[in-house]
Amino acid sequence: MKLAACFLLSLLLVLALTSCAGGNYPPAQSVHRVYLIDCSASITPRALDDAFHQVELQADRMQRGDRISVIPITSDSDTNAQGNILRMTVPLNRQPYDQDLQTFRKNFRQALRLLHDRAKAHLFDKTDIIGSVDLAAQEFAADDGNIRKMLIILSDFIEEDDTLDFRTVPALAGENTARQLAARLAKNIAQISTASVFLGSMQSNELDRLSKARRQAIREFWLEYFKNEQNHPVFATDGPGMSAIFATDSRR
């Protein structure tokens, strides 16, 4: 009996020391979350603040080995991307008392708030969502096959670049023609095909001015654009609020 008690006490002591000392504990499957946040002038200030706040909260729930990328949706992804993409990885190597996690969260919050402040100081007059999706594909391209990919887009989804304007383009007048246009344009997003996609609507000054039929056609465009054999995109009217549920859903 004494021998058993001593063995149990020794085992508990080893476990306690291991917990404090740290070590390498790779997760069963890491997750790479890529956020695209609409930073155009049509988005209301409150919606923009809420979107960035939800990203900050999600980062606090990330596990070891998880990655996160935050990409502002601007007027031209080719010219505005450099220096405006935030990407960080949660360390695999555990430090005593999880000091590494605390450092990660602190550094991420600081970098995210800096990105937020820059976005609010320079809101864009156009919205290049499709170009920003290409940037997301580049972020995913570096992932190996064991990483689960999540693309979370927070926007009013009104594409408005030098070639397309969803407010006026005839194809977005109806749902059928919207899906046809999406099928033609979606051929260059192979890296997105294995990702779970969340489409979260943000409160927008421009969206309110569109007819209900065009708003529905815009929604159908994006659902068709991201539809693939492995995953079906999810659309939510309350984008920022529902994004947290999507990003933490273990079934995805």
State how many domains the chain has: 1
pLDDT digits (tens, 9 = 90+) for 67-82: 999 999 999 888 887 8
Candidates 247, 250, 199, 200; CA nearest to 57 is 247
Does the residue 14 lie in any domain? no
In a domain, 77, yes or no: yes
For the stretch 171-224, pLDDT in tens is: 999 999 999 999 898 876 766 778 999 999 999 999 989 999 999 999 999 999
Residue 12, in any domain of the structure: no
pLDDT > 90 in the chain, percent: 62
**Mean pLDDT, all residues of the chain:** 86
pTM: 0.85
Q: Does 16 map to a domain?
A: no
* CATH assignment at residue 86: 3.40.50.410
Answer yes or no: is 5 within a domain. Answer: no
Q: Taking Cα atoms as reference points, which of 212, 207, 152, 216 lies closest to residue 179?
A: 216
Q: Is 81 domain-assigned? A: yes
Indicate whether 25 pLDDT > 70: no
Question: Which residues in the chain belong to E strands, given as ranges?
Answer: 23-24, 31-38, 67-73, 86-89, 93-94, 148-155, 196-201, 234-236
Residue 99 maps to a domain? yes
Q: Are 243 and 70 in contact (CB under 8 A)?
A: no
In-domain check, residue 53: yes
Domain span holding position 151: 27-247
| Angstrom distance (rounded) from CA 66 to CA 211 | 41
